[in-house]
Structure 1
Amino acid sequence: MEVRQLEMLLAVVESGGYARAGERLHISHSAIHRQIKLLEDQVHDRILVRSGKRVVLTEAGCIIVATARRVRQEVSDAYHQISEARELQRGTLRIGTADTILFSYLLPILERFQKDFPKVEVYVKTTTAGDVFGQIQAEVFDLGIVFNAADILPKKLNLQYEVLYKEEFVWAVGDHHPLAKRASVSLNELASFPFAMLPEASHIRQICEQRLRSAGVTANISFELENEEAMEKVIKTNLAIALLPARRTRSNGIHRVRVRETPIGGEVSLVLPKREYLPRAVREFVGRCRKANQLRSQKVVVR
């Protein structure tokens, strides 16, 4: 049973005969006859019978016509939805990321995207990188933006990534912290003071602890906080040291501590399903991320 056959049957029923159906569909009425006969052969029953000069539906014909009308409506709806999606008059965009990336990078992109495509429903969840990978694989998220995907993305997952930009992390203290006046310090010296850290599942926390362990240092963690905004507030009270993106140390009340050991850096990457076709909303958002990255790299910081 083909959609074209159902279309011909509906034309006959709604036009009142084969000749008018042929005019409506711009084909010969004999071609319509043949397709209706094929349809009857497929269902092993008569669909249309003559009653005088008219054709009327049999019981089987009534059942098929009801089905045909539902199919026609669903096909019409599908075309409409595809058209709306192409013009982004509808659709969804589901993103997984980290608090740090959301606040420092994504919010302005999201704001512009929603202004351009107000009818697209956007959902953002901040979570761990591992959860982001799993949710993209399970098709719960459309995309993710995470730290250091190259190091932590499992090869068994059918995902791909591209680096958007690089982030430098530095040790930070309050302006009146004892280390604020030092030209440089060692990790061992840092360890004699309390630390503020992100939760254990945070990739940045793991990088931080790995760097300390490699220097034979154990951190005295006095504050375990959900995001960098909370860490900044604690730092400004001079109660703890924290690892922050370098850009955050430009705010008042925060001082960058220069550590003699190797600097800590990270890559912020876009993670996508590994497939040829991506929905229009995803393609548009990815394009805006790339453009924001280009503008970010072109900025000149005047000191």
Structure 2
Amino acid sequence: MRLLFLAVLRRHTGNAVTAERVREHLEAAGHICLLKDTSDLESSSEIAHFIKAEKLEAALALHLYRGGRLLQGHGIPFGIIFGGTDLNEDINQREKNQVMGKVLEEARFAVAFTESMKEMAQMQWVDPVFTREVKAKVKRTPGVRLLREMPQEDLHAALKNCFAVLNSSVSEGMSAAILEAMDLEVPVLARNIPGNAAVVKHEVTGLLFSDPQEFVQLAKRLVSDPALEKEIVANGKEYVRMYHSWQVERDTYQNLICTLEGSTEE
């Protein structure tokens, strides 16, 4: 893949050293990585011309504001790497803060070098008002605990010790949490929305509820009916095996990438 990598490249600075190291990583994987100083491509028209002239397919930027903003709106996918200036200085300037938020919305991925940088970014952009509201509500609710993110193996271990997994989302595409629970043989209760209903068949692979009262009713039923629990668990496991096989998914993606390579050769 032909990549554009934007960074501030003043000699003998940490940015320049980091950018060169990342470029070497990418080229070691077989990509062509054109490392450019942000000062050399300061306007949108210059970026557009360079992308077209070099037939670039994707891009990467070191620094959300200094580099990331230059990649918006050009029709190629890009990712960003947070820099210290982003979170120590630019974040405090309202106009730059807003720009950086828009860049994050468009970026395919974002890399932070430390947990503290990641947490600062999440507090600033993952919706802090809503986060505070959720934490306050949980704190006032007996029997409910809010846990931080955890490694997948730890999460799966916790799920196996649960009686059921609840998905109360009001919007879902395809819930990985539901599929993981089914594969781990844990019963699922999910809000009856299109995304969940596409995966959970009521009373077959799980239980669907439409309001809090129905959730309570179904949860009590699940607790008191071991036969229903056993049937749901078995059907859920089989559903994942038939329709969400890891190996089938892997083969599918590999075959799809091969079709892209064929198109390039033509």
With the shorter chain as reference, the TM-score category is under 0.3
Instruction: Normalising by structure 2, report the TM-score.
Output: 0.24
Instruction: Normalising by structure 1, report the TM-score.
Output: 0.22
Higher strand share: 1
